[in-house]
Amino acid sequence: MRLFPIAMNNHRIVRFVLGLVGLAGMLTIWHIIASQPDVNSVLLPTPQEVSEAAIEMTVQGVLVEDLVVSIKRVTIGFLFASVCGIVLGALLSASTWISGLLYPVLELIRPIPPIAWIPLAILWFGIGDTPSYFIVSIGAFFPVFLSTYDAIAGVDRRFIDAARCMGASKRMLIMKVTLPAALPSILTGLRIGLGVAWMAVVAAELVSARSGLGYMIQLNRSLLETARVIIGMIVIGMVGATMTTVLYRIQKILVPWQ
């Protein structure tokens, strides 16, 4: 009985070590390429130059300020998109009439990339946080909506029929059958939506904001501060990966049988 936990722990250790080796290899290749005499530091600074710029920005406080602003925009926009996506996905999967009315409209809007909404967002909301919330919500909504819609609509009818034969009420069908069966796919949609939210917020901040990591990247690009541009990219990746990991841990708690 003890062999399984030990094997799982060893597997995690191996994955962790492999991840460190992969990162070390990437940094080594980066350093070798950036250290070549014919490579301009404006085009590709070395890891050491990026680290020094990161320390400088952290001491100045600008990195933390922009990071907090971007996290706030992602969080608010993502939460709004998640609530709307789950509610609409559940309604459309449960009602043929509502699905017939709204699904064609949503399918028409879905292929439009979030960045295409930026001009309208600026016209409607101006410059600042509000257009970023809007762009993030647009981007994160559809992965959550589609995963919820497909998950609930795809619940095996045999489970529902069996529960009804056993006298389950409508509330019990939702809480004990439909929701547990659909929850894994819904949570996966939330993780995908969170990744899209980060892409959307950076696109929005590049154009319609005067703060945030996207704005920081755009500003330093114009100043030819490539090291600071790379820092913004790295921070986005790290924070996005951390938030996705938190969602994954929540999924393991809520769906222990998966």
Instruction: Tell me which residue of 77, 191, 61, 59 sits closest to 134, measured CA to CA.
Output: 77
The CATH number fitting domain 45-254, selected from 3.50.90.10, 3.40.50.300, 1.10.3720.10, 3.60.20.10: 1.10.3720.10
Residue 61, pLDDT score: 86
CB 207 within 8 A of CB 166: no
CB 215 within 8 A of CB 66: yes
CB 81 within 8 A of CB 193: yes
Residue 231, pLDDT score: 92
Mind listing the pLDDT tens digit of every residue in the chain (258 residues)?
455 555 556 777 888 888 888 889 988 998 898 888 887 878 888 888 999 999 999 998 889 999 999 999 999 999 999 999 999 988 888 788 888 888 889 999 999 988 899 889 888 988 778 889 999 999 999 999 999 988 888 777 776 667 777 766 666 666 667 777 788 888 889 999 998 999 899 888 888 778 888 889 988 988 888 999 999 999 998 888 888 888 888 888 877 766
* C-alpha span between 27 and 19 (Å, rounded): 12
Residue 2, pLDDT score: 53
For the chain, give every domain's residue range: 1-36, 45-254
* C-alpha span between 182 and 73 (Å, rounded): 28
Look at residue 120 and give its three-state secondary structure: helix
Instruction: Tell me which residue of 217, 252, 225 sits closest to 52, measured CA to CA.
Output: 225
Cβ-based burial of 133 (10 A; exposed 0-12, middle 13-18, buried ≥19)? buried
Residue 38, pLDDT score: 83
* C-alpha span between 252 and 36 (Å, rounded): 46
What is the pTM assigned to this prediction? 0.82
Residue 158, pLDDT score: 74
